[in-house]
Amino acid sequence: MDNTKTIYQFVTLKQGGKLRTTEFQHTEIPFLTKGYHESKSTRKELQMQPKFCGFCGPMWGGYTGDGKPVIRYESTEAYSALSI
């Protein structure tokens, strides 16, 4: 998959419990990388996607309206809130 066309979506939990979603291009991601996702049991779009400190993921987020793939990451707090 061409990472230059991929949208990277990060979901965090704001004070007060509201979710915040921020999107970045591959070269703009401000978070520390901790390796790459390698699991043959997940979709091919997730293979070799970066993993980030403090975030769960990568997760498949579907496609944008113009067909760009979305790779989603959730902070541990956001993941816990969404998993209730």
pLDDT digits (tens, 9 = 90+) for 17-57: 899 999 999 899 999 999 999 998 999 999 999 999 999 99
Strands 33-36 and 69-75: unpaired
**Residue numbers of the domain that contains 70:** 3-82
Cα dist from 58 to 15, 16, 17, 38, 46, whole Å: 24, 25, 22, 10, 6
**pLDDT at residue number 35:** 96
> Which range has the worst mean pLDDT, 5-9, 24-28, 80-84?
80-84
Give the tokens for residue 71: 């790779």
**pLDDT at residue number 1:** 66
d(CA 71, CA 43): 11
State how many domains the chain has.
Answer: 1
Q: Are 64 and 70 in contact (CB under 8 A)?
A: yes
